[in-house]
């Protein structure tokens, strides 16, 4: 009777190990895919924000250099620069969604498995 209970406990323990290792493999793969997706979205959003900000600076510079005082172009360029900067700052949300933290000690990644 004692041997049967030991074998049963051993079988359950081995079954849990196998199930857990399969779960971890799937979880790691999902985690890496999520991390890739978040980093792609960060890069895409940050590039769009930088492009809008640089275009805003260019529009402001052209309107400032223009001989006829065009305040509307200057205001549009300033607004575009501000919007581009906000988009670039907002792109950092993808770090948080990828469980990445930027702190005094550098970049740290918190995994969910």
Q: What average pLDDT does range 33-46 have in this prediction?
A: 89
Within a domain: residue 12? no
The string of DSSP letters for 32-98 reads: HHHHHHHHHHHHHHHHHHHHHHHHHHHHHHHHHHSSS--HHHHHHHHHHHHHHHHHHHHTTHHHHHT
Domain that holds residue 63: 34-101
Please tell me the pTM assigned to this model.
0.65
Within a domain: residue 38? yes
**Does residue 76 register a pLDDT over 60?**
yes
pLDDT at residue 94 in the model? 85
Confidence of residue 36 (pLDDT cuts 50, 70, 90): confident
Within a domain: residue 66? yes
Within a domain: residue 97? yes
Within a domain: residue 92? yes
Q: What average pLDDT does range 77-84 have in this prediction?
A: 94
Number of independent structural domains in the chain? 1
Higher pLDDT, 111 or 35: 35
Within a domain: residue 63? yes
pLDDT at residue 29 in the model? 75
Within a domain: residue 86? yes
**Does residue 23 register a pLDDT over 80?**
no
């Amino acid at each position: 009777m004692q041997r049967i209970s030991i074998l049963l406990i051993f079988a359950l323990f081995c079954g849990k190990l196998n199930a857990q290792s399969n779960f971890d493999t799937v979880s790691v793969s999902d985690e890496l895919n999520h991390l890739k997706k978040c980093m792609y979205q960060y890069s895409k959003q940050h590039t769009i924000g930088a492009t809008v900000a640089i275009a805003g600076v260019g529009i402001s510079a052209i309107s400032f250099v223009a001989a006829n005082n065009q305040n509307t172009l200057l205001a549009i360029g300033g607004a575009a620069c501000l919007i581009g900067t906000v988009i670039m700052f907002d792109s950092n949300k993808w770090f948080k969604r990828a469980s990445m933290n930027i702190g005094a000690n550098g970049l740290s990644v918190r995994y969910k498995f």
